[in-house]
Amino acid sequence: MSTKSTDWWRGAVIYQIYPRSFADSNGDGVGDLKGITDKLDYVAALGVDGIWISPFFKSPMKDFGYDVSSHRDVDPIFGTNDDFDILLARAHELGLKVVIDLVLSHTSEEHPWFVESRKDRTNPKADWYVWADPKPDGSPPNNWFSVFGGSAWQWEPRRQQYYLHNYLVSQPDVNFHCPAAVDAVMADMEYWLQKGVDGFRFDVVNVYTHDKEMRDNPARKASDPSFDNISSNNPYTYQRHLYDKSRPENLKILNRMRALMDKYGASSVGEISDDDSINRAAEYTAGKGRLHMAYNTYMLRDKFGAALVADGIKLTEAAFTDGWPSWSFGNHDVPRVATRWGGEDPSGGFLRALLALQLALRGSVFIYQGEELGLPDVDVPYHLLRDPFGKTFWPEYKGRDGCRTPMPWIGHAEQAGFTTGQPWLPIPDEHRARAVEVQEADEGALLHAYRHMLKWRKTRPELVTGSIRLVGVEEPLIAFTRTYGSTELLVVINLGPSATTYNVTDIGALTPVTDHGLPQGKQNGNRLELGGYEVFFATLKKEK
């Protein structure tokens, strides 16, 4: 049994690194593990508790690492297994936990398992993937769609069957109803646990199992809570995904995964892709036999406002009566939050207000690389697109490349200090102006606000693990309290550019807290006066 601290993740702040775009050490234009190691001092100086590294395993890179052909080998483009060992050791020296991204629901078509499985119906791995006979007319077995467009079924002439692919055709789904396949997945997990990783981020963790009867998914109706998520661009959103994911059998898989992680003292966060992501996330983290956390996608949507945040708090608190929530405002799959919510020219004040909000919510926090610089999304021209998702749905949807462009380290340097070669995606001038080196020299820059706020949060147990109570929503203002032991902290945030006020008559006596380093409003009797994007933190003392 491991002697690791097993609850470090509760209330932690984890920094997501997309390795292709973080730092390139060898000049080939693609970030790598040595590049990450070289920049770990920068990450540690932010004040985060750990890093989550997106997939770096061997892959043909048709989905840029989320199509794995060997779960135990580092892809040569990122380095070697020894490079990972060095990265892990250095991170631990700096007090950083390391979470790695495991893609288990599917593999690359080049994975040796699938190469064997597709040969015929009688080989030792014949059942390791999801195979199904055609309908009498030769069409696919049911109406399931791929997230990336079109049918989720691909014909394999050697077996005279279809195989399931929830994503790209080149990403066949592993059959988690096959005990031998599950054993192999668990063995791959244990390989990294034995190396000493601190946890896993499980990609699309609720898509592991499927309906054995292969029943058709029903259409979404206007009365469905998630009906407003239907996109005219993608037929996948027209269905209620009752039978191709989030099946009850999935929970048994989680039980086994958790038992293995507990053996090594490791933690987990699962990405939930579901019609009802909050309640599914709560289900997947309930008790002590499932996931430690579930990656909350509620705040990754395009809409934003105090009412949306309040709904997210209420829905999450109602659902998470047992498990632990987490919050993310951005990642490698959605437009950068600075642009998504802040528009083409997001103000520094708005980005500071978002920083205060995210670090004050109850749960663990995931920050995507570059958010601390306020990087806007990039409009990558079609001829430079790399994302297969964007190429399929362009121009209505331009894919995910806009949030995946390389980190700008030195504004005046060639390729912004990311590489000495040609970067795999372009680096725009507006990113150069926000480079790390530029912000280091400016005490008023967003980077310094992140560093100060992250370190300050660690001194406030109310914000790390305290409870939350929503006390006011007056667009664009939101107010809530965080309580730990006998200390109650009031958090009021103006999410708009204009001055506003908030009445605190029914809350209690206030003692302002101002050492967070952000612009704070003023108290005028029972009224708080907040300028555009200002915050107000104060401890509360209930009047007797």
CA 88 to chain centre: 21
Q: How far is residue 20's CA from residue 75's CA, in Å, rounded to a whole number?
A: 11
Q: What is the pairing mode between strands 199-202 and 97-102? A: parallel
Q: Which of 24, 173, 198, 203 is catalytic?
A: 203
- Which backbone phi and psi does 282 adopt, to 5 degrees? -65, -40
Tokens linked to 125:
């791995």
Q: How many CB atoms lie within 10 A of CB 112?
A: 11
Residue 283 known to be catalytic = no
Q: How far is residue 90's CA from residue 84's CA, in Å, rounded to a whole number?
A: 10
Tokens linked to 483:
């309580």
Cα separations (Å) of 527 from 258, 279, 409, 419, 478?
Answer: 49, 37, 43, 52, 14
**Inter-helix orientation angle 277-285/250-264, to 10°:** 50
Tokens linked to 118:
């597709």
Q: Which residues pair with 154 in a beta bridge?
A: 163
DSSP category for residue 380? -
Identity of the residue numbered 192: W
Residue with tokens 């390139």: 24
**What are the residues whose beta carbons fall under 8 Å from the beta carbon of 420, sequence distance 6 or more?**
24, 27, 414
Q: Which residues pair with 536 in a beta bridge?
A: 492
Tokens linked to 158:
């050697």
Q: How far is residue 353's CA from residue 348's CA, in Å, rounded to a whole number?
A: 9
DSSP state letters, 175-227 = -TT-HHHHHHHHHHHHHHHHHT--EEEETTGGGS---TT-PPPPBP-TTSTTG
> What is the SS3 assignment for 295?
strand
Nearest partner of 18 among 329, 335, 370, 387, judged by Cα: 370
Burial of 124 (0-12, 13-18, 19+ CB in 10 A): exposed
Query: Are 193 and 185 within 8 A, CB to CB?
Result: no
Cα separations (Å) of 381 from 21, 22, 394, 423?
Answer: 18, 21, 10, 15
Bond before 376 cis per omega within 30 degrees: no
Query: Are 194 and 184 within 8 A, CB to CB?
Result: no
Q: Which of 271, 283, 371, 387 is catalytic?
A: 271
Residue 198 known to be catalytic = no
Nearest partner of 481 among 491, 472, 473, judged by Cα: 491
Active site amino acids:
203, 271
